[in-house]
Structure 1
Amino acid sequence: MVIWLPMYVCQLDTLIYLISLKYLKKKLDYAHQILESAITQFIRRKTMYEKYYDVVGAGFGPAGIALETAIRDSEETSNERIYKRVFLEKNNNSAWLPEMLLPGTDIQHHFLRDFATPRNPRSQYTFSNYLFEKGRLFSFGLLGRPSRTEWSDYVQWVAKKIDDKAQYNEEVKLVEPIIVDENVEGLKVHTKNNINNKENVYHTKNLVLNSGRKPFVPSIFKGQIGDKVFHASKFISSIKNINNDDNPTFTVIGSGQNSVEIMLYLANKFPNSKINSVVRHTGFRLYELGHFTNEVFFPDFTNYFYSLTQEGRDKLFEQIKHTNYSAVDEDVSEALYWKIYEDKIRGKEQIKLYRCKEIFDISKHRDNYLLNFTDIYNKEDGSINTDYIILCTGFFEEKYPEVLKPMKEFINYNEENNIQVFQDYKINTKSNVKANIYLNGLTERTHGIGDAASFTMMATKAQRILDSIDNNKFVKKGVLS
Structure 2
Amino acid sequence: MIGIGFGPSNIALAIALEEMYPEVKSLFLESRTTPVWQAGMLLSGSDIQHHPVRDLVSPRNPRSHYSFINHLHEEERLFHFLNLNVPFPLRKDYARYVTWAARHFDDQVRYGSQVTGVDLPAQGEGAEIRLAGGERLTARSVVVAPGRPPYYPSALRKLADDRVFHYTRYLERVDEIAAVPSARIAVIGGSQGAAEICLDAAQRFPNSRITNVLRGFGYRQKDLSPFHGEVFFPEFVDYYYDASPESKEYLDKQLRYTNYSAADIDVLTAYHTKLYEQRLDGDYQIQLTRNSDIVSAAAAESGITLELAERHLGEPSSLDVDFVIVATGFIDLTDESGGNFLPDLLTPLSPRVGRTEQRQATIGRDYRVLPDTGKDLPPIYLNGLCERTHGLGDAGSFSLVSLRAAAIADSLSKAVAS
TM bucket, shorter chain? over 0.9
Aligned partner of 2:367 among 418, 421, 425: 425
Distance 1:244 1:437 in 2: 45
SS at match of 1:472: helix
Counterparts of 1:212-223 in structure 2, within 5 Å, are 212-223=147-158
Q: Which range is displaced more, 294-303 or 424-433?
A: 424-433
Q: How far apart are 1:432 and its partner, in Å?
A: 5.1
Distance 1:123 1:365 in 2: 54
Equivalent AA in structure 2 for residue 91 of structure 1: R
Residues 228 and 388, structure 1, Cα contact 8 Å, conserved in 2 = yes
Q: Please list the CA deviations of residues 242-281 of structure 1 after superposition, one character each: whole Å capped at 9, or x if unmatched.
A: 3377111111110001100000011001111111111011
Residues 352 and 377, structure 2, Cα contact 8 Å, conserved in 1 = no
Counterparts of 1:346-385 in structure 2, within 5 Å, are 346-385=281-320
Equivalent AA in structure 2 for residue 130 of structure 1: H
Residues 176 and 406, structure 1, Cα contact 8 Å, conserved in 2 = yes
Q: Which runs of 4+ in 1 moved over 3 A?
A: none
SS at match of 1:414: coil
Distance 2:13 2:192 in 1: 28
Q: How far apart are 1:434 and its partner, in Å?
A: 6.4
Q: What is residue 383 of structure 2 aligned with on the other side?
A: 440
Residues 185 and 434, structure 1, Cα contact 8 Å, conserved in 2 = no
Q: How far apart are 1:84 and its partner, in Å?
A: 1.3
Q: What is residue 190 of structure 1 aligned with on the other side?
A: 130
Q: Please list the CA deviations of residues 40-61 of structure 1 after superposition, one character each: whole Å capped at 9, or x if unmatched.
A: xxxxxxxxxxxxxxx1111111
- Is 1:85 aligned with 2:85? no
SS at match of 1:158: helix
Distance 1:109 1:399 in 2: 29
SS at match of 2:125: strand
Q: How far apart are 1:351 and its partner, in Å?
A: 0.8
Aligned partner of 2:53 among 89, 109, 112: 112
Q: How far apart are 1:169 and its partner, in Å?
A: 1.1
Residues 343 and 350, structure 1, Cα contact 8 Å, conserved in 2 = yes
Q: What is residue 337 of structure 2 aligned with on the other side?
A: none
Q: What is residue 63 of structure 1 aligned with on the other side?
A: 9
Distance 2:213 2:157 in 1: 18
* Structure 1 residues 437 and 365, CA gap change in structure 2 (3 angstroms): closer
- Is 1:277 aligned with 2:220? no
Q: What is residue 240 of structure 2 aligned with on the other side?
A: 305
Aligned partner of 2:70 among 116, 129, 138: 129
- Is 1:252 aligned with 2:187? yes
Q: Which range is displaced more, 369-378 or 240-249?
A: 240-249
SS at match of 2:272: helix
Distance 2:301 2:63 in 1: 59
Q: What is residue 394 of structure 1 aligned with on the other side?
A: 329
Gaps of 5+ in 2: 333-339
Distance 2:144 2:328 in 1: 24
Name the TM-score, length of structure 2 as normaliser.
0.94
Q: How far apart are 1:383 and its partner, in Å?
A: 2.0
Gaps of 5+ in 1: 1-54, 76-80, 476-481
SS at match of 2:46: coil
SS at match of 1:185: coil
Distance 1:185 1:230 in 2: 41
Q: What is residue 83 of structure 2 aligned with on the other side?
A: 142
- Is 1:99 aligned with 2:40? yes
Equivalent AA in structure 1 for residue 24 of structure 2: Y
Equivalent AA in structure 1 for residue 258 of structure 2: T
Task: Give the count of matched residue pairs.
Answer: 408
Equivalent AA in structure 1 for residue 49 of structure 2: Q
Distance 1:442 1:244 in 2: 37
Identical columns (%): 36
Q: What is residue 336 of structure 2 aligned with on the other side?
A: none
Q: What is residue 352 of structure 2 aligned with on the other side?
A: 410
Residues 143 and 383, structure 2, Cα contact 8 Å, conserved in 1 = yes
Q: What is residue 457 of structure 1 aligned with on the other side?
A: 400
SS at match of 1:95: coil
Q: How far apart are 1:179 and its partner, in Å?
A: 5.9
CA RMSD of aligned residues (A): 1.7
Residues 370 and 377, structure 2, Cα contact 8 Å, conserved in 1 = no
Distance 2:244 2:171 in 1: 41
* Structure 1 residues 169 and 364, CA gap change in structure 2 (3 angstroms): closer
SS at match of 2:404: helix
Counterparts of 1:142-161 in structure 2, within 5 Å, are 142-143=83-84, 144-161=87-104
Equivalent AA in structure 1 for residue 379 of structure 2: N
Name the TM-score, length of structure 1 as normaliser.
0.82
Q: How far apart are 1:409 and its partner, in Å?
A: 2.8
